[in-house]
Amino acid sequence: MRHATWLKIEASPFWYGVYRGYRTLPGGARAPLRWLTMPRWHLAVLLVRTASRNRVVAGPFRGMKLALSGLSGRHLLGYILGSQERELHEVIDRVVARRYGAMFNVGAADGYYAVGLARRCPSTRVAAFEALTELHPVIARSAAANGVGGRIAIAGTCDAAQLRDALDAAPSETLVLMDIEGGEVGLLDPKLVPQLRQVDILVETHDAFVAGATETLIDRFWQTHEVECYSAQPRILDDFPAGFLPFLKRRFPRLAVDLMSERRTGCQRWLFLTAKRNDAAGTAAG
């Protein structure tokens, strides 16, 4: 479903009521209804999944075998196309070059970053925290398919105490990668987790859910970290992977762009916070 169509459904009491009724149907009944109501969309999804053989076709994790949840597999094709969070591609390459000893992915979802970074960083151990336990088998399948299952620990919700304990036991070169739908404001607090002053952080901020989230985090970390801010840009046809399903890009350009939609609310931003030298960080913190 195109994101614009979904927004119209959400805005209409009648059609949103119809959608809620549809959600009460058993899975076996919903699948054919999806095809009947949106045949072109689901055919395009099937083409992408089949042609890619469920491997990422572009971007920093190109070649990664990717299991996806049912919802992501139908609506977040940017994972397969490699266009997901394209604004961060250069940052991800820099993360890989830093050769962290450990990475903590808080809000791992389907495991795109947890598995992708473990695959590209063979000496790094990754902890994937995901509150939705139904996604744990999805992460595990992708990890096993890429031969990194032995270096990814999967856990549930991460609170401040767990994050403190994890960082206490981590090597000095550590990255915290976080995407928790507004929860980052409560968790990324050096007063609660002092170790955050010495580690690098890549966080998706959610000003649409928590007003001023980005500015709050910048205010907390500018003294101890170098701060880089990235903002989401609309996907355009040139973002579609070169050489992949060229007829789709040529004959159905609008659909090709829609397939890369990340279905976001508001203006999305990310912060890459790189810790300053420990002595400088300690002085600033004091």
CATH number reported for the structural domain that contains residue 133 in this entry: 3.40.50.150
**Number of domains present in the structure of the chain:** 3
pLDDT at 71: 81
Domain co-membership, 105 together with 215 = yes
Q: Which uninterrupted H or E stretch holds 186?
A: helix 184-187
Question: Any idea which of 50-54, 100-104, 280-284 has the lowest mean pLDDT?
Answer: 280-284
pLDDT at 279: 44
Domain co-membership, 93 together with 173 = yes
Domain co-membership, 255 together with 278 = no
Spatial CB neighbours of 220, under 8 Å, sequence gap ≥ 6: 188, 189, 190
Upper half-sphere CA count for residue 106 (Cβ side, 13 Å): 27
For residue 26, which amino acid is it? P
Mean pLDDT of the chain: 87
Domain co-membership, 24 together with 138 = no
**Which tens digit of pLDDT belongs to each residue from 100-159?**
999 999 999 999 999 999 999 999 999 999 999 999 999 999 999 999 999 999 999 999
User: β-strand 102-106 against 174-178: which pairing, if any?
Assistant: parallel
Answer whether 49's CB lies under 8 Å from 60's CB. Answer: no
Domain co-membership, 201 together with 69 = no
Domain co-membership, 279 together with 142 = yes
Which residues span the domain enclosing 138?
A: 85-232+267-286
Mean per-residue pLDDT for 62-86?
90
Domain co-membership, 161 together with 52 = no
Domain co-membership, 59 together with 182 = no
Q: Which uninterrupted H or E stretch holds 205?
A: strand 200-205
Question: Any idea which of 29-38, 87-96, 121-130 has the lowest mean pLDDT?
Answer: 29-38
pTM of the complete model: 0.84
Burial of 26 (0-12, 13-18, 19+ CB in 10 A): exposed
